[in-house]
Amino acid sequence: MNPTAEAPLEETGPEDSGATAACAILGLCFLLGAPGNLLVIWTILRHVRKRSHTVVLILHLAAADLLVVVTLPLWIYSLARSWVFGETSCKAMVFVINACMYSSVFLLTLMSVERFVAVRYPFASADWKRKKALNKVLLVLWTAAFLFSIPVIPTQVVEDNAGEDRCLSRLYTSVSQELVCVLLETLVGYVLPFSILAVCYGCLCSRITQMTFKSKRKSTVLIASVVVAFAICWTPHHIGNLLSLVCLAMEDSYPATAHSLEDVRNTMAFIAGAMVFISSTLNPILYMFAARSFRSSLVDTGIKKLFHHISSTSPGEGNREPSFVSKRQNNNQTSSSQCVSESKDQMDILMNMCGDNSS
């Protein structure tokens, strides 16, 4: 949780309706998100043997969401009471949550870019899959996510608010430090990835409607819905970051306006903080809705069949392109052999005609 996005909660006591609502929302997120993401991880590891790149990325995305969700009981307790776990654990938890935010958006970007390349450039996609470079890319991705989260460690603090400690604030030593940290989080964690996503899905829109198989179109739409849900949940948080930047720019020349914008940011901060955790809860729910068509009974969730379906319909997975090429080559060879045989038959007819005329 970004503590700057939770500033309004510092002003509420345990009996306040705002804190009560926050605890209720976070409790619901934990009850849905923890078992949901565990189900996704267990299903993929236990039942999906041949995992496509898309399913592997979904597995890592569920792991990132689970890391965020398991911290919820501590946040709920700190809102209801106070932060009693020390500043080190405060820094560690916010660091992990920020790292999961970066890793999630990086995973979604990689998933969408790979799907875009597979649809638009299938031969390049097949070559990339044969090289088995995904594990190396994932290692780089997670490393980058933790590196980009390092600024949280020196700035996250536990502050006393009305006699109660709160792990909801960041303390910057200078305006330039705040500017760099907020810009880094917003550009790397939102603007740049979603610009890439917008380009990818903008180019794929026409291809999705033209896909021959409805199953392929369904899996592509599912991934797009996960991306849209993530964007919706994290947009208020980054709007708050942008308002912070505007306040920094205007605080000297227009202090009254800057103060008003700061009040607006603080007002929407509760919604932004709740949406961050809702984001880690939504994906399993989306998978469940998508798996409804794969259910064979009321007990069966269909999620195992969904992931098998995603693996089998991912563009460019397995040997689909090479088999297509070989099939096309076989067709060409067959047609060329037919042409040769037809030309031989025509030559035989002409030779026979010439023999008849000479006789």
239 in any annotated domain:
yes
Give the residue carrying structure tokens 């006789």: 359
**Dist CA 32 CA 208 (whole Å):** 31
96 in any annotated domain:
yes
**Dist CA 66 CA 223 (whole Å):** 19
Give the residue carrying structure tokens 């760099």: 180
Q: What is the pLDDT of residue 322?
A: 35
Burial 258-269 (b: 16+ CB within 10 A, else e): beebbeebbebb
Render pLDDT for 236-282 as a digit per residue (tens, 0 to 9): 989 988 888 888 888 888 888 888 888 888 777 777 888 889 999 99
351 in any annotated domain:
no
**Dist CA 248 CA 262 (whole Å):** 10
Question: 3-state SS of the chain?
Answer: CCHHHHHHHHHCCCCCHHHHHHHHHHHHHHHHHHHHHHHHHHHHHHHCCCCCHHHHHHHHHHHHHHHHHCCHHHHHHHHHCCCCCHHHHHHHHHHHHHHHHHHHHHHHHHHHHHHHHHHHCHHHHHHHHHCCCHHHHHHHHHHHHHHHCCCHHHHEEEEEECCEEEEEEECCCCHHHHHHHHHHHHHHHHHHHHHHHHHHHHHHHHHHHHCCCHHHHHHHHHHHHHHHHHHHHHHHHHHHHHHHHHHHHHCCCCHHHHHHHHHHHHHHHHHHHHHHHHHHHHHHHHHHHHHHHHCCCCCCCCHHHHHHHHHHHCCCCCCHHHHHHHHHHHHHHHHHHHHHHHHHHHHHHHHHHHHHHHC
User: Which of 51, 43, 47, 41 minimizes the C-alpha distance to 312?
Assistant: 51
pLDDT tens series, the chain, 359 aa? 444 444 433 444 434 566 788 888 999 999 999 999 999 999 999 888 888 888 899 999 999 999 999 999 999 998 888 899 999 999 999 999 999 999 999 999 998 888 888 777 777 666 666 667 888 899 999 999 999 999 999 999 998 877 788 887 888 898 889 899 999 999 999 999 999 998 888 887 766 666 555 556 677 778 888 889 999 999 998 998 888 888 888 888 888 888 888 888 877 777 788 888 999 999 998 888 887 766 655 445 577 778 877 777 665 554 343 333 334 444 444 444 444 444 455 455 445 544 554 44
User: Which of 186, 188, 112, 177 minimizes the C-alpha distance to 147?
Assistant: 188
Contact 41, 292 (CB under 8 A): no
265 in any annotated domain:
yes
226 in any annotated domain:
yes
Find the domain containing 34 and state its range. 3-319
Q: Which residues are 161's β-sheet partners?
A: 164
**Dist CA 227 CA 208 (whole Å):** 16
pTM equals 0.78
Size of the chain in residues: 359
User: Which of 104, 105, 124 minimizes the C-alpha distance to 114?
Assistant: 124
Q: What is the pLDDT of residue 42?
A: 93
User: Which of 58, 45, 41 minimizes the C-alpha distance to 314?
Assistant: 58
353 in any annotated domain:
no
181 in any annotated domain:
yes
Phi, psi of 127 (to 5 degrees): -65, -40
Contact 286, 229 (CB under 8 A): yes
Q: How many independent structural domains does the chain possess?
A: 1
User: Which of 107, 77, 105, 103 minimizes the C-alpha distance to 90?
Assistant: 77
**Dist CA 73 CA 79 (whole Å):** 10
331 in any annotated domain:
no
Contact 9, 31 (CB under 8 A): no
CATH number at residue 46: 1.20.1070.10
**Tokens found for residue 229:** 């849900």
